[in-house]
Amino acid sequence: MRNEWECAVVGAGAAGLSAALVLGRARRQTVVIDAGRQSNLVSDVIGGLLGYDRRPPAQLYAAGRAELGEYPSVEFRHGTVTGGRRVDGSLLLEIGGGEEICARRVLLATGMEYDPPDIPGLPPLWGRSVFQCPFCHGWEMRDKRLASLAAGEEAVHSTLMLRGWTDDVVALTDGKSDLSDDDLNVLRSAGVTVDDRRVVELIGENGKLTSIAFADGTRMERDGLLVEAPLRQRSPLAEQLGATCTPSPLGQSIGVDEIHRTEAGDVFAAGDACTEHPHVAGAIASGSQAAMIVVQSLLADEFGLPYPPT
């Protein structure tokens, strides 16, 4: 095994594979470390990705790995990075099982963990008929009986988003009657029903929601439910390597500049881990862009290439 990799990519989802492809084509000695826990693997399809629209996420990842197999400078390690630190000017990553990897650069493409509401019956429906992104799932939910579960201003925004795909939408406030008269008027004018009952269970079969159970013992038949699902970092690795995580509307994001550098100049980040608007197409683009900067930073070390690029 090589003593020091030029770049270690942590995560082999859309951003990580995209970054590794650029690094491989640049003939940079690259190791990709992945635990196979991409958040969208629970979904039946990827929505809105050119060339892969309505195809399973696993197909995208398998195709990406197959393409990377053509580049001898890229290798894979299956496992979870459990920690990281600096040793003698290099970055040392610890992988569960005892292996350690040393690299000159690290590109974090770890994605994020979604934290949907803790409602009985939700887990087997998550990512399919219960979802947090209408752009990802709206087409599959078109013309069906939908509901949104949110409070306050978010209830208005998320519910009206669904109106683009169906005219049968109910806004569920889960017992929180905090909508203003103006909010109620906006929703009613859009043909949306507002229901203040407390939700106690989701009923479904084979990943398909069939009804929503309320605290009063009644049920409402629904085919899909939009919920809020804050994001959280998968591990403290970014901060262990000297990067910082900053609050964002959806959770905690790794702080990066306009060229995907973290505060630790030799650590970069791409994809959902460092964006306020997670989606597969954006992750692919940011992975590619971050890898190009990594290559230029290595060339700056070797040959004095001006860096950062202008």
The string of pLDDT tens digits covering residues 135-181 is 999 999 999 999 999 988 888 999 999 999 999 999 999 998 789 99
Domains 5-114+230-303 and 123-227 share a fold: yes
Superfamily of domain 5-114+230-303: FAD/NAD(P)-binding domain (3.50.50.60)
Q: Check if the beta carbon of residue 129 is closer than 8 Å to that of residue 222.
A: no
Instruction: Report the predicted TM-score, pTM, of the whole model to 2 decimal places.
Output: 0.93
Residue 61 makes CB contacts below 8 A (sequence gap 6+) with 12, 13, 14, 17, 38
Delimit the domains of the chain by residue range.
5-114+230-303, 123-227
At residue 1, does pLDDT exceed 60?
Answer: no
Domain 123-227 falls in which CATH fold?
A: FAD/NAD(P)-binding domain (3.50.50)
Compute the distance between CA of residue 131 and CA of residue 239 in angstroms, rounded to an integer: 30
Compute the distance between CA of residue 17 and CA of residue 283 in angstroms, rounded to an integer: 10
Main-chain phi, psi angles of 245, to 5 degrees: -110, 135
Compute the distance between CA of residue 91 and CA of residue 106 in angstroms, rounded to an integer: 7
CB atoms within 10 A of CB 100: 12
| 33-51 average pLDDT score | 94
Q: What is the pLDDT of residue 3?
A: 76
